[in-house]
Chain A
Amino acid sequence: MTLGYPGSDLLTAVSIALPPGSFHFLTGPSGAGKTSLIKLCYGELAPNGGRVEIFGQDTATMSRDETARMRRRIGIVHQDCQFIDHLPLEENVALPLEVAGQKADSEALTELLSWVGLAGQARSLPPSLSGGERQRAALARAVIMSPDIILADEPTGNVDWDMSLKILKLLAELNRMGKTVLMATHDLNLIRAAKGLTPARVLRIQGRRLQLAGSDL
């Protein structure tokens, strides 16, 4: 597929397939198009050429409601988290269930918040959380629907090294549970730290093209 604006391509002839249960890092310099590629994956951006297929369906042919339902099967973690600031953390995390017409099980919700180490902040409002807490909360929200795919765009961009490792371990744990993970990061140290946590491939965007970087981890 190709993505760009009139007169300038951002991504050219990109071809990628994410097999179920795989873990891919997506790396490249700032502005290379990592976020755009992630957005293409969940239909927020449409390619100028080629096509994006999610769960066997072309995103270009999906209606708005189909796109919404497709996103319920994808857990998305953004660098800026995108919370609803006036709702307590637990309600933010449970919102995907609410949106899908399901009821949140309070025990399961507490367990999920404990998994990301935020059980004590359940009633806190998102603006009162630290960067690392927000990232972990975003991860909890991304997995509450038990999605098939996790798309994480620089989830460690605003946190220190220890917290980055913690988030990486959570993603690796999800991958071991069978989830497909695509994680964009510019932090090569973090990619190296993943070695031994989970088998992963590293994709690199350079010169508007996507290439396999080095050997599998």
Chain B
Amino acid sequence: MIARLGLLAPLFGGRTGADRVVPSTGPTALLTTLTAAAMAFLAVFALALSMATGRLADRWAGALARSATIRISAPADQIDRQTAKVLEVLEQTPGVEFARATTPDETRKLLEPWLGPDLPVEDLPLPKLVEVTESEAGFDAEGLKLRLAAEAPGAILDDHQRWRAPLVASAERIRTIGLLSLALISGATAAMITLAAQAALAANGQVIRALRLIGAEDRYIARAFVRRFTLRTLAGALAGTFAGALAIALMPAAAEEGGFLTGLGFQGLQWVWPLAIPALAAILAFAATRAAAFRVLRTVR
């Protein structure tokens, strides 16, 4: 562990001797910083997407999982009696926390988008709806269905499972895609930095040969390149992360009506997560440059 800390120490010290031996300018410098900035910017969005869809999946899976609806379709002369029976059954059912029948006003509101206002719901043969909220323990849906069939034949229990399951699955899949995007961005960043480091190593062949000639060990030579690429990547990733986080912060606030899109972003402590992106980018750069440097150095005796 201490040896590993020693390995990282040159990164955080001042400008070292090894650092001076590599020319400080070159086309790879700008390329590395810009790539890191662009990748970090994209990573912030991938992370925000993962977190937003994660929240959505949790909400659908959690909140809606505890609600159910009973629809009662019966002849007009039986509907009130069956509704009362359903409420009675629910009152006796373990795991039901709360149950109530929707009022005509609520039914009117539900149908308003399709049938317009001023609908005479009392005169229409509409089914009655009973809203059910489960307790933490939940109820036995199959047992409840059987009881309802026996005591209120017009009542049908809908526990939302049919439409909730694909939505939760979709949200979970989008979250996975977001995480996969992060992995791809990390891989692409590592590949770009490796290419840039190899280009820098090839361009500095004379420096490497001169250093080996005077007795420089591989880790001394590698340190100059590793430090430079790690710091460049860190600087680029910090800028990209800041820009990405700013863009996310300036998005419209999450609103119920806006649904998923306006909820894209971080909430509360989730804002800490983007800070991991520059650190991860720097670790990637360190590992990629070190591997590239030692690979190239092995070809010089």
Contact = CB atoms under 8 A, between A and B. Distances in A.
B20 A65 contact: no
B216 interface: yes
Contacts of A64: 217-218, 297-298
Given A44-B301, A96-B214, A84 B21 contact: yes
Contact of A95 (B214, B217, B297): B214
A83 B206 CA distance: 8
A155 interface: no
What is the interface of chain B mostly: helix, strand, loop, or mixed? helix
A76 interface: yes
Contacts of B211: 84, 95, 99
A68 B216 contact: yes
- Interface size for chain A: under 10, 10 to 19, 20 to 34, or 35 or more residues? 20 to 34
A87 interface: yes
B210 A82 contact: yes
Given A87-B20, A87-B21, A99-B220, A45 B301 contact: yes
Interface in B34-81: none
B6 interface: no
B222 to A, nearest CB: 12
A69 interface: yes
A71 B215 contact: yes
B206 A68 contact: no
B7 to A, nearest CB: 15
Given A82-B206, A141-B214, 18 more contacts: A43-B301, A46-B301, A64-B218, A65-B217, A68-B212, A68-B218, A69-B215, A71-B212, A76-B213, A82-B213, A84-B206, A84-B210, A84-B211, A95-B21, A95-B214, A98-B17, A99-B217, A145-B215
